[in-house]
A and B are shown apart, each in its own frame.
Chain A
């Protein structure tokens, strides 16, 4: 509830419970303090009464005597009109003065002989507070110690403690109410921007990618910035998707139009040779279209494939060798010189998925085969970087190269660098880039100084 509820309720619950805890602690403190203050106030009256009595001890016939002063009893009784008790005992156990038959245990009397005693007892069903002290009283011939006991009921203490406590509680409660009110108001004010943001987001149209309006507090700026970036990215990706769909439709339309043309041409003719010609055209077109669709499917699948959780290390040199060997016998490679540069002696390990890397190298080779004239040299190579342990896979050809202005866009789908003379779908490099990205590898396309195109794929070192 507290964790998952509305932010306002969460804040409120936390703040109020903190306040309750603090309030509870304050009340406990108030209770202890009031008890202690009442005790102290009344204990000092017991002390005063005892002192007054002590001063009234006189000597007569070489015996200590007490002329009980009314003031002592008045002090002892306090203004709360407590019932009073006093007893004076000399060190021979004689009682000099006494007014109630409260029993004082031998232990208490021993303690009183040694020093101050503060003690609470029950007498006649009510609680009394007693205080005792031993005083030295010197006569002419002898010296006596007189134990003076005073005591009173504790109604006044209780009443005073209650009054103090009530007053403190009242203060705490008023402060608490005030604080609670402030918390409510503050929360309302502090959460207003959030509410505004909520309203804005709710009113927003799906295709709207414009930034959010209105000023936000510092803490929320991060959130709104992120939101705006998200809107922006979403807009971009939607645009890319639209573009891709439009391009794909366009690409599919061209071969289909060819098929239609061929079919119409065949229908209008009676010659079986022309039918055969048309059928073979249609077959070629269908094959191209099928390949295009396959490539499209490949690209889409690669782009939406979840990243593998675990990847194994594999020997890239081995892989490269086997793929190149496969392609050497391929129909496409008949008229090209497909070669492999000298590979490093030791196995070259990279982390990756073998099928994806095969696909990538295959696409690179196919690309080179399709976009270079017959007789071109295509060389694949593998080199280890001196620093960082990176691995660079390269493919070079001595074909016509690409217009430098086109280099940037070469990896976008359906980009053929203005070449209409090949059967290439324009998806090869896009697939290569996607796979490279899956392996955190960098793709670099450049023109060679000697003419021809060069593609570098740099895999990061194993340690990074």
Chain B
């Protein structure tokens, strides 16, 4: 960021003196050289004084980040950024993905960076023109599948996992794949009744996206939803709440948890086992973009470049369970290490315009209706109308057919 005066000045000096050399007679030449030298010296002195001013200006710089990322998980990353840019004052606001999304759409949000795990929503924000393009070497080198329009960048590669209490392992064979979960739910329905937790498709953005993806990759997905309904699974809004419930002993089994949070949690809660699905694993990616009306665009660019640069990714791979996307980073948490663990069947959510279809109201309503239909044990007649299912004990009610907002 520093102003380096030397190269352009030296070039200007060289050009001017060669012109003088060519056109002027010797006597004039000498006088002009003296004048030029004096000029050069004064400019150099001025220039030497300038970086001090620039540095002084940047000490006041702030960086406002609206993030749907747990402060605890993000802490090493933020600390590393502060070490690298000690002059930037970080204002990190940890919120839910829906709150972040709403904040980004305010007319004058005074936010620099929007960071969220709700990928379709992030893409929608970019599509609305709320992002700035990032033009940097890091951005250009970033893999094509992990960025869109050079505006929004995915910088983590977080597997979706299952988690269970040791209580469960004591009574039955713990699940290692999606099929195992379905088997457990059917075979031990009575034992597990009320002790299973999963995302709410209607209240959690990530949950909806994950179910939609599950339905695409698993042929027995709807049976699994029905089984969740039969054990009266609790529908939560965040991984943190699911983990808290597991630790409390309220739940024995959690389905589709964010791996990053679960792994972090398990480090301090030995009674909870985190299981990476062995058949296939969905991948959720944390995305970040610079807000169009960012008050501190320079710092925001520095932050994104840091996130997707070698340094940031090194922290992601080594100190957080967020998993690095870059192949050239070595550490316990990299996409490569995940591939070694699970195999090639890692399914990241697409980061492109096609994910906008998930947000389309009609499509979303249709999916939710079908989900709750399966969950409540009803079946669809050929004409698409619902047939009333069995009475359920669960406390959750299917949402209205038309939510008042697409991302309720």
A35-79: CB near B (< 8 Å → 1, else 0) gives 000000000000000000000000010000111111111101100
Decide: A97 and B361 in contact? CB cutoff 8 A: yes
B330-356: CB near A (< 8 Å → 1, else 0) gives 000000000000000000001011111
Decide: B354 and A74 in contact? CB cutoff 8 A: yes
Asked if A99 meets B148 with Cβ closer than 8 Å, knowing A67-B362, A83-B129, A84-B127, the reply is no
Q: Which residue of B lies closest to A155 (CB)?
A: B149
B269 at the interface (CB under 8 A from A): no
Q: How many residues of B contact A (CB 8 A)?
A: 22
Chain A residues, Cβ within 8 Å of B366 = 65, 67
B363 at the interface (CB under 8 A from A): yes
Q: Which residue of B lies closest to A84 (CB)?
A: B353
Asked if A71 meets B354 with Cβ closer than 8 Å, knowing A60-B384, A81-B149, A126-B129, the reply is yes
Asked if A73 meets B357 with Cβ closer than 8 Å, knowing A67-B366, A97-B362, the reply is yes
Near B by CB (< 8 A), chain A positions 89-131 give: 96-97, 99-100, 123-124, 126
Q: Which residue of A lies closest to B355 (CB)?
A: A70
Near A by CB (< 8 A), chain B positions 347-378 give: 350, 352-363, 366
Chain A residues, Cβ within 8 Å of B356 = 68, 73, 84, 99
B126 at the interface (CB under 8 A from A): yes
Count chain B CB atoms within 10 A of each CB in A83, A84, A123 and give the residue with the most: A83
B111-133: CB near A (< 8 Å → 1, else 0) gives 00000000000001011110000
User: What separation, in Å, do the CA atoms of A70 and B352 have in the docked complex?
Assistant: 10
User: What separation, in Å, do the CA atoms of A82 and B123 have in the docked complex?
Assistant: 12
Asked if A81 meets B360 with Cβ closer than 8 Å, knowing A67-B366, A99-B127, A100-B128, the reply is no
Near B by CB (< 8 A), chain A positions 374-425 give: none
User: What separation, in Å, do the CA atoms of A73 and B362 have in the docked complex?
Assistant: 15
Q: Which residue of B lies closest to A96 (CB)?
A: B362
User: What separation, in Å, do the CA atoms of A68 and B363 have in the docked complex?
Assistant: 6
Find B360's partner among A68, A82, A123, A126 (CB 8 Å cutoff). Answer: A68
Q: Which residue of A lies closest to B360 (CB)?
A: A68
Decide: A99 and B362 in contact? CB cutoff 8 A: no
Decide: A65 and B352 in contact? CB cutoff 8 A: no
Chain B residues, Cβ within 8 Å of A73 = 353-354, 356-357
Chain A residues, Cβ within 8 Å of B148 = 81
User: What separation, in Å, do the CA atoms of A96 and B129 have in the docked complex?
Assistant: 22
Chain B residues, Cβ within 8 Å of A81 = 148-149, 352-353
Decide: B127 and A100 in contact? CB cutoff 8 A: yes
Chain A residues, Cβ within 8 Å of B352 = 74, 77, 81
Decide: B363 and A67 in contact? CB cutoff 8 A: yes
Find B127's partner among A69, A83, A97 (CB 8 Å cutoff). Answer: A83
User: What separation, in Å, do the CA atoms of A81 and B149 have in the docked complex?
Assistant: 6
Decide: B360 and A66 in contact? CB cutoff 8 A: yes
User: What separation, in Å, do the CA atoms of A298 and B360 have in the docked complex?
Assistant: 117
Chain B residues, Cβ within 8 Å of A69 = 357
Chain B residues, Cβ within 8 Å of A66 = 360, 362-363
Decide: A97 and B129 in contact? CB cutoff 8 A: no
User: What separation, in Å, do the CA atoms of A82 and B127 have in the docked complex?
Assistant: 8
Q: Which residue of A lies closest to B148 (CB)?
A: A81
User: What separation, in Å, do the CA atoms of A240 and B23 have in the docked complex?
Assistant: 63
Asked if A77 meets B353 with Cβ closer than 8 Å, knowing A124-B129, A126-B129, the reply is yes
Expressed in whole angstroms, the minimum distance between the Cβ of B387 and any Cβ of chain A is 16
Chain A residues, Cβ within 8 Å of B126 = 83
Q: Which residue of B lies closest to A83 (CB)?
A: B127
Decide: B360 and A99 in contact? CB cutoff 8 A: yes
Find A65's partner among B124, B358, B362 (CB 8 Å cutoff). Answer: B362
User: What separation, in Å, do the CA atoms of A9 and B129 have in the docked complex?
Assistant: 58
Find A70's partner among B128, B149, B357, B361 (CB 8 Å cutoff). Answer: B357
User: What separation, in Å, do the CA atoms of A68 and B357 have in the docked complex?
Assistant: 5
Near B by CB (< 8 A), chain A positions 272-315 give: none
User: What separation, in Å, do the CA atoms of A84 and B148 have in the docked complex?
Assistant: 13
Q: Which residue of B lies closest to A74 (CB)?
A: B354
Decide: A99 and B363 in contact? CB cutoff 8 A: no
User: What separation, in Å, do the CA atoms of A82 and B350 have in the docked complex?
Assistant: 15
User: What separation, in Å, do the CA atoms of A22 and B149 have in the docked complex?
Assistant: 39
Expressed in whole angstroms, the minimum distance between the Cβ of B213 and any Cβ of chain A is 11
Q: Which residue of A lies closest to B406 (CB)?
A: A99
User: What separation, in Å, do the CA atoms of A43 and B246 have in the docked complex?
Assistant: 54
Near A by CB (< 8 A), chain B positions 372-391 give: 384
Chain A residues, Cβ within 8 Å of B353 = 73-74, 76-77, 81-84
Q: Which residue of B lies closest to A68 (CB)?
A: B360
User: What separation, in Å, do the CA atoms of A212 and B59 have in the docked complex?
Assistant: 90
Chain A residues, Cβ within 8 Å of B362 = 65-68, 96-97
Asked if A97 meets B360 with Cβ closer than 8 Å, knowing A74-B352, A83-B149, the reply is yes
Q: Which residue of A lies closest to B361 (CB)?
A: A97
Expressed in whole angstroms, the minimum distance between the Cβ of A123 and any Cβ of chain B is 8
User: What separation, in Å, do the CA atoms of A417 and B47 have in the docked complex?
Assistant: 110
Q: Which residue of B lies closest to A95 (CB)?
A: B361
Expressed in whole angstroms, the minimum distance between the Cβ of A26 and any Cβ of chain B is 33
Chain B residues, Cβ within 8 Å of A72 = 357
Chain A residues, Cβ within 8 Å of B355 = 70
User: What separation, in Å, do the CA atoms of A99 and B360 have in the docked complex?
Assistant: 8
User: What separation, in Å, do the CA atoms of A99 and B407 have in the docked complex?
Assistant: 12
Q: Which residue of B lies closest to A72 (CB)?
A: B357
User: What separation, in Å, do the CA atoms of A155 and B139 have in the docked complex?
Assistant: 18
Expressed in whole angstroms, the minimum distance between the Cβ of B248 and any Cβ of chain A is 39
Near A by CB (< 8 A), chain B positions 19-44 give: none
Count chain A CB atoms within 10 A of each CB in B363, B366, B384 and give the residue with the most: B363
User: What separation, in Å, do the CA atoms of A203 and B156 have in the docked complex?
Assistant: 88
Expressed in whole angstroms, the minimum distance between the Cβ of B51 and any Cβ of chain A is 35
User: What separation, in Å, do the CA atoms of A74 and B354 have in the docked complex?
Assistant: 5
Q: Which residue of A lies closest to B149 (CB)?
A: A81
Chain B residues, Cβ within 8 Å of A99 = 124, 127, 356, 359-360
User: What separation, in Å, do the CA atoms of A69 and B353 have in the docked complex?
Assistant: 11
Chain B residues, Cβ within 8 Å of A97 = 360-362
Q: Which residue of A lies closest to B364 (CB)?
A: A68
Near B by CB (< 8 A), chain A positions 417-453 give: none
Expressed in whole angstroms, the minimum distance between the Cβ of B148 and any Cβ of chain A is 6
Chain A residues, Cβ within 8 Å of B124 = 99
Chain A residues, Cβ within 8 Å of B384 = 60
User: What separation, in Å, do the CA atoms of A100 and B362 have in the docked complex?
Assistant: 15
Q: Which residue of A lies closest to B124 (CB)?
A: A99
Sample of 4 more A-B contacts, CB < 8 Å, known A69-B357, A83-B128, A99-B356: A65-B366, A66-B363, A84-B127, A97-B360
29 A-B residue pairs with Cβ-Cβ distance under 8 Å, sorted by A, are A60-B384, A65-B362, A66-B360, A67-B363, A68-B357, A68-B360, A68-B363, A69-B357, A70-B350, A70-B355, A71-B354, A73-B354, A74-B354, A81-B148, A81-B352, A82-B353, A83-B126, A83-B127, A84-B356, A97-B360, A97-B361, A97-B362, A99-B127, A99-B356, A99-B359, A99-B360, A100-B128, A124-B129, A126-B129
Closest 5 A/B residue pairs (Cβ): A77-B353, A70-B354, A68-B360, A74-B354, A68-B357
